[in-house]
Amino acid sequence: MEQEDKGPALTRRTFIKSAGVAGAMFLAAGAFPPLVRPALAAVKGENINEVLKRQFGNRKVSMSHVTINAPIIAENGAVVPLTITSDLPMNNNDYVKKINVYADGNPEPYIAGIELTPANGKAMFAMRIKMRKTSNVRAILETSRGQLYGAIKPVKVTIGGCGG
């Protein structure tokens, strides 16, 4: 009796390789956009004013409704903790659409853009950022109605935690 040839056997290794390749292609196609991603490609050497002008044009930023909780002195510039909160509404008709984070003294000041929906319930985000040197940290929130609100907090980055 002749045995029918069914082709190469599917091993666990070939299945995992195939699934990995398919998954990479799926992600490359943009099926799952990341939660934190740069809104605009950074331009090396651009100062904070150029970045803000490019991102928001001439729109006015109201310095209210935003709180940045960050250390006054960061002992390690590689991991500076930040919490950004806002008292702005988060309902279907009016909500914080995006939180933008900047470190003025970094070679590329734009750190991150966090997109929100009313389902978040509260405009709040915590993260750790890398700061090259002592400078201002700023957060600019954009609402679903196109309004901009912001806050600035100076953070001193020390070398070795000596405060100097």
**What domains are defined for the chain?**
36-157 (2.60.40.2470)
pTM of model > 0.75: no
Q: What pLDDT score does 4 carry? A: 61
Question: Mapping DSSP to helix (H, G, I), strand (E, B) and coil, where does residue 144 land?
Answer: coil
Torsion of Cα atoms, 48 then 152 then 98 then 121, to 10°: 170
Per-residue pLDDT at 19? 77
Q: What is the pLDDT of residue 46?
A: 81
Q: What pLDDT does 159 receive?
A: 72
Quote the pLDDT of residue 160. 59
> In degrees rounded to 5, what are phi and psi of residue 114?
-110, 120
- Cβ pair 102, 51 in contact under 8 A: yes
Confidence at residue 37, expressed as pLDDT on a 0 to 100 scale: 46
- What residues of the chain score a pLDDT lower than 70? 1-9, 25-45, 160-164
* Token reading at 30: 């943009």
d(CA 138, CA 118): 23
The predicted pLDDT at position 30 comes to 55
pLDDT of residue 38: 47
